[in-house]
A and B are shown apart, each in its own frame.
Chain A
Amino acid sequence: MARKSLKLKVYGWMISLSFIIYHLSFSMACSHAPKSLARMGRLPEIYPDYIGVTIPADIAPLNFNVKDDAFDCVEVVAFGSKGGEIRTKGKWADFDIDEWHELTRQNQGGKITFTVRVERDGHWAQYDDFEVFVSNDRLDEWGLTYRRIKPGYEVGGDIGIYQRELSTFDEYAILAETVVPGRCFNCHTANRTNPNRITLQMRGEGGGTMVQKDGKQTWVETKTDSTKAAGSYSYWHPQGDYVAMAVNSVHQSFFTGTGQRIEVYHKFSNVEVLDTRTNELILSPLLQTDDLEIFPAFSHDGKWLYYSTSKPCRVPAEYEKVKCSLCRIAFDTEKGAFGEVVDTLLNGPATDKSYVLARPSYDGRWLMYCVSSRGNFPVCQDDADLWLMDLKTGESRELKEINSLQTESYHNWSDNSRWFIFASKREDGMYTKLYLASIDAKGKVSKPFLLPQRNPRKYYLEMMDAYNVPDFTKTKVELDAHEAYRQVFENKRENVKIR
């Protein structure tokens, strides 16, 4: 018996020792100071591509991997134009969070220069330096909210709504599949990034619309005898009592070719507004037509409701004919009533394009939207790009600075309207990832940067989810998931009435 335990002890020590030797050997290999340096004469190829991007001062460290990993060690020195210097050494550039923030805050309005050296077989080589600009514009939001979902087809699987602190790498579940198994949920929307007003929609059995105001959850059934379905694709009125929603039936068809996989279409769609004080629906005949009104969004002052509309087609057969125009209609906050005229801002059929997902900036200056060759669900359109309309002049331009050959969609603004987040499939055409970019007072947009992660290559390579519906959140979202579970399974809903 004693012999046995001695043996176990020896094994234990051997295992511990081998771990220590492994780690020591790696850190020693990485600890040699470069004696001689060969110049590579080119910029490093890094993942994510952070070269020349503009960042807010409080963003999490821009950790990166050197793409060519046939080296033993990478050393990165980051020094600010206004002072400060930090360094990191290891298998990838992994900066200390506090040191990073000290550097970025010190260099707000300046730039940070990165020197990257790599070691192969004891020989060090140095790439050309690259720069990252630290914006003067603050990004005051605590973090981001988004849904993570497998980029599949008709089964949602293990989906969840999450939030991520922007200044760190910490992610928290807001509502995960585990607490409401087998349910599909989405359309989580806060009011102007403020989570004291949130809605989200749950489909299927026990489905409904959750409205959370100041921490109190209410679950309502937004389908009535006069409306065809429950509300979705919601957007809060800035005053905080009205929520605009689209009422529709969403479907998918699948391609046989090797390009775009899925065509998403709606068989009908109308727009309505829910008054969350009285649980009344506000309808307008102009938004309850046979056309498909979709993706509503209130203007910054709440006086206008933007939305897209397309003529009804025989979908899926005529999927190529779905061309959305971008429109707006007046909204009287006091009376809770719509205007009687619809303005068409961008005419889809006339330009043979589809304009969807209007997102006005919160300062009233810009309108960002998706442009694709067809359809009203841009995240599934390969050619969907982001465009920007100057609401002062009505002029639009493509945001070539941020678009790629793949899909760009699901954009949202920060509260000060100097930053925006969007989802893009640029890396592989399938797994949507989140990018941030800044925009200045003149509408100049910076090169976007991928949401930072502790070890980005490992993280994104292993990430089997796609991100969608990202938004900024001013503070951490507090949602009682246990209460959501009770509400879903008790299935008691407050019915809404038509005003």
Chain B
Amino acid sequence: MMKALTKYGNMALSVFVGIGMFLFWYLIYPHALSYQEQYQLFLLTWDYFIERISLPGGLADWLSEFIVQFYYVEWLGALLLALLFVALQRLTARLLPQSLVLLSLLPVIMLWWLMGDINVLLSLPVAIVIALALACIQLSKPLSWTDIIILPIAYWLLGPVILLYVLIRVIQLGWKHLWSAGWLLAVQLMVYAWLLPQWPLQQALTGLNYYRIPLYYPQLSGYDKEMYELIRMDYLVRNERWDDIVKRAGEYQVCTPFWSNCVNLALSQKRLLADRMFDFYQSGEDALIMPRTRDLTSMLPSAEAFWRLGMVNSAQRYMFDTQESILNGRKSGRCTKRIAECMIVNGHYQTAQKQLNLLKKTLFYRSWAEDVEAMMKDENQINTHPVYGRLRQLRYKENFLYSYEEMDKMLGLLLMNNTENKMALDYFLGQLLLKGDIRGFQQYLGLAQQHGGYRQMPLGYQDVMRCIQAQGNVPGSPFAEYAKRHFVPK
């Protein structure tokens, strides 16, 4: 009776973990999956497999990347993650006495909390699950000497997480088995000395590929609300869910340039920028386009804005630098795809081909890459393509040096280059307002009338004009609020 209860109790716990995890990742945090997926490019090639397993922890790393590629399809990614957590719970339960089966939830909760740190890679949970599985297999074989062979192999395949296995074995076999911890350390030191000439000792001991930032370690910070809100915004930008961004922006705001960039881009795509820009938080002159920042996320919304504006070279640069800022040296499917597109618009087909060759080795970018590759053979197809052809019309015809400090001029020139570029018009006037160039705004407001296609003066511009006339004394005016924050000396 007790046995049956435990069995069904364990089963119920597994179902609870499985459903809970699936719903969490699929319904609440799908953007977290997208975030992880965009910072790796899993290649389905033998070379890639060899490259991964040529380092300690490589198998766990390869398996984790294999799973993460499925995050591209959110429900599938969530399902695989849920199964991984179920495996973790069941393996823990198997190692615990039957009376303590409820404790099998503890590692699940801890790991779930740890994964709130966006730089924790899935290789860590994968390695933990395999290490536990190994401990379960060894349960039936109490022979301690087998660890002499198992530990070096397991260290190479899973990384230092294998220490978990050692601890379980020590508990199982008693303190006499503590020698295996010493043996593991010796193995790690030998591997460091002879096989890892280009890696620091710290990483040989603590793991090469559990955390995205080398020489740093996971923070038990959980799911930081503001950070995940920004990740959500970027996810919505990536999927061009402009209405959702505007709706979400009305519900919750994060006062950062990144957030402003996302919201402004969404507004521009809905042609609402001129009307509603100052209804939302604006960070300052960087609210439309952010300056170059050396990290793997900040430049993404600006790169997306550049792309849609027709500033193709800048889009390529921001995507390239974003990709190179991934500190564990991985490629990004999202960045590689956009870099290839920029090269195609610029007619650099040979270099675009290089990017496409990479994408062709993936599961989820392959068909896109093959379609584009076929298109590249016919220049006419590119010219008539709804996006690429249009961007060729929008991009700069003149060659000059980009200047972030003169972004308003850059946008003005872009507009003059093609007055059909309504996004450039909105961004140009928006940039003048953000930097407080009221005279410039008044001077060029006529362009909105001439090229904007508006039936009446946009509400945002009306508000600005009222502010100018009343010298800022317009109660409830969004622009007056912005001006007060940014231009009035405190």
- A154–B321 CB distance below 8 A: yes
Q: Which B residues lie within 8 Å of A261 (CB)? A: 313, 317
CB contact between B402 and one of A175, A253, A317 (< 8 Å): that residue: A253
- B399–A156 CB distance below 8 A: no
Number of chain A residues close to chain B: CB under 8 A:
40
B190 to chain A, nearest CB (A): 14
Q: Which of B197, B201, B325, B400 has the most CB of A within 10 A?
A: B197
- A152–B320 CB distance below 8 A: yes
Q: Which B residues lie within 8 Å of A176 (CB)? A: 198
Q: Which A residues lie within 8 Å of B324 (CB)? A: 150, 152, 155-158
* Contact mask for chain B residues 389-403; partner A; CB cutoff 8 A; 1 contact, 0 none: 000000110111111
Q: Which of B198, B313, B401 has the most CB of A within 10 A?
A: B198
* Contact mask for chain B residues 307-343; partner A; CB cutoff 8 A; 1 contact, 0 none: 0000101100100110111110101000000000000
Q: Which B residues lie within 8 Å of A464 (CB)? A: 331, 354, 358
**Residue A129, interface by CB 8 Å:** no
Residue of A nearest to B322 (CB): A155
Q: Which A residues lie within 8 Å of B241 (CB)? A: none
CA distance A317 to B401 in the complex (A): 8
Known contacts A152-B321, A181-B215, A258-B347; A482/B399 CB under 8 A: no
- B320–A254 CB distance below 8 A: no
**Residue A90, interface by CB 8 Å:** no
**Residue B357, interface by CB 8 Å:** yes
B51 to chain A, nearest CB (A): 11
Residue of B nearest to A319 (CB): B401
Q: Which B residues lie within 8 Å of A155 (CB)? A: 294, 320-321, 324-325
CA distance A134 to B73 in the complex (A): 56
- B321–A254 CB distance below 8 A: no
A155 to chain B, nearest CB (A): 4
- A157–B354 CB distance below 8 A: no
**Residue B449, interface by CB 8 Å:** no
**Residue B7, interface by CB 8 Å:** no
- A158–B329 CB distance below 8 A: yes
* Contact mask for chain B residues 444-479; partner A; CB cutoff 8 A; 1 contact, 0 none: 000000000000000000000000000000000000
**Residue B200, interface by CB 8 Å:** yes
Stretch at the interface among A274-282, A331-339, A422-430: A422-430
CA distance A255 to B327 in the complex (A): 27
**Residue B385, interface by CB 8 Å:** no
- A257–B399 CB distance below 8 A: yes
CA distance A342 to B403 in the complex (A): 37
Q: Which A residues lie within 8 Å of B354 (CB)? A: 428, 431, 461, 464
Known contacts A154-B292, A179-B200, A431-B354; A256/B402 CB under 8 A: yes
- A431–B351 CB distance below 8 A: yes
CA distance A55 to B198 in the complex (A): 33
CA distance A257 to B197 in the complex (A): 43
Q: Which B residues lie within 8 Å of A158 (CB)? A: 324, 329
Q: Identify which of residues 172-192 in chain A touch chain B, using a CB-to-CB cut-off of 8 Å.
A: 173, 175-179, 181-182
* Contact mask for chain A residues 231-261; partner B; CB cutoff 8 A; 1 contact, 0 none: 0000000000000000000000111111101
Residue of B nearest to A176 (CB): B198
B7 to chain A, nearest CB (A): 20
Residue of A nearest to B193 (CB): A482
> When A and B form their complex, which 5 residue pairs have the shortest distance between CB atoms, in order from nearest?
A257-B399, A157-B324, A181-B214, A428-B350, A158-B329
Q: Identify which of residues 336-389 in chain B touch chain A, using a CB-to-CB cut-off of 8 Å.
A: 346-348, 350-351, 353-354, 357-358
Q: Which B residues lie within 8 Å of A182 (CB)? A: 214, 327
CB contact between B401 and one of A175, A254, A431 (< 8 Å): that residue: A254
CA distance A158 to B332 in the complex (A): 13
Known contacts A253-B401, A253-B402, A257-B396; A175/B198 CB under 8 A: yes
- A256–B317 CB distance below 8 A: no
- A258–B198 CB distance below 8 A: no
CA distance A154 to B294 in the complex (A): 9
Residue of A nearest to B414 (CB): A256
Q: Which B residues lie within 8 Å of A461 (CB)? A: 353-354, 357
- B350–A427 CB distance below 8 A: yes
A318 to chain B, nearest CB (A): 11
- B197–A256 CB distance below 8 A: no
- B200–A482 CB distance below 8 A: yes
Sampled A-B contacts (18; CB under 8 Å): A152-B323, A155-B320, A157-B329, A178-B329, A181-B214, A181-B215, A182-B327, A253-B401, A256-B395, A256-B399, A257-B313, A257-B398, A257-B400, A427-B350, A430-B348, A431-B354, A462-B47, A464-B331
Q: Which of B324, B327, B351, B396 has the most CB of A within 10 A?
A: B324
- B323–A157 CB distance below 8 A: yes
A411 to chain B, nearest CB (A): 24
- B317–A181 CB distance below 8 A: no
A429 to chain B, nearest CB (A): 7
CB contact between A179 and one of B198, B311, B350 (< 8 Å): that residue: B198
Q: Which B residues lie within 8 Å of A173 (CB)? A: 197-198
- B317–A153 CB distance below 8 A: yes
- B323–A256 CB distance below 8 A: no
**Residue B487, interface by CB 8 Å:** no
CA distance A430 to B339 in the complex (A): 13
A149 to chain B, nearest CB (A): 9
B283 to chain A, nearest CB (A): 22
Residue of B nearest to A175 (CB): B198
Q: Identify which of residues 118-161 in chain A touch chain B, using a CB-to-CB cut-off of 8 Å.
A: 150, 152-158, 160
CA distance A174 to B323 in the complex (A): 24
B67 to chain A, nearest CB (A): 22
**Residue B217, interface by CB 8 Å:** no
- A153–B320 CB distance below 8 A: yes
CA distance A261 to B317 in the complex (A): 9
Residue of A nearest to B216 (CB): A181
Q: Which A residues lie within 8 Å of B313 (CB)? A: 254-258, 261
Q: Identify which of residues 439-458 in chain A touch chain B, using a CB-to-CB cut-off of 8 Å.
A: none
- B198–A256 CB distance below 8 A: no
- B347–A256 CB distance below 8 A: no
Q: Which of A155, A256, A317, A430 has the most CB of B within 10 A?
A: A256
Q: Which A residues lie within 8 Å of B113 (CB)? A: none
Q: Which B residues lie within 8 Å of A255 (CB)? A: 313, 399-402
Residue of B nearest to A261 (CB): B313
Inter-chain pairs besides A462-B357, A482-B197, 11 sampled, C-beta below 8 Å? A153-B320, A154-B321, A157-B325, A255-B313, A255-B401, A256-B313, A258-B348, A428-B351, A430-B351, A461-B353, A464-B358
Q: Which B residues lie within 8 Å of A259 (CB)? A: 399
Residue of B nearest to A317 (CB): B401
**Residue B199, interface by CB 8 Å:** yes
B56 to chain A, nearest CB (A): 12
Q: Which A residues lie within 8 Å of B320 (CB)? A: 150, 152-153, 155
**Residue A387, interface by CB 8 Å:** no
Q: Which B residues lie within 8 Å of A258 (CB)? A: 313, 346-348, 395
Q: Which B residues lie within 8 Å of A52 (CB)? A: none
A102 to chain B, nearest CB (A): 30
Residue of B nearest to A263 (CB): B401
Residue of A nearest to B352 (CB): A428
Residue of B nearest to A160 (CB): B198
CA distance A431 to B357 in the complex (A): 15
Known contacts A155-B324, A157-B329, A181-B327; A254/B402 CB under 8 A: yes
Q: Which B residues lie within 8 Å of A302 (CB)? A: none
CA distance A427 to B398 in the complex (A): 25
CB contact between B321 and one of A153, A177, A179, A316 (< 8 Å): that residue: A153
Q: Which A residues lie within 8 Å of B200 (CB)? A: 179, 482, 485
- B398–A178 CB distance below 8 A: no
Known contacts A156-B324, A481-B198; A178/B214 CB under 8 A: yes
A259 to chain B, nearest CB (A): 7
CA distance A178 to B200 in the complex (A): 8
A376 to chain B, nearest CB (A): 16
- A429–B351 CB distance below 8 A: yes
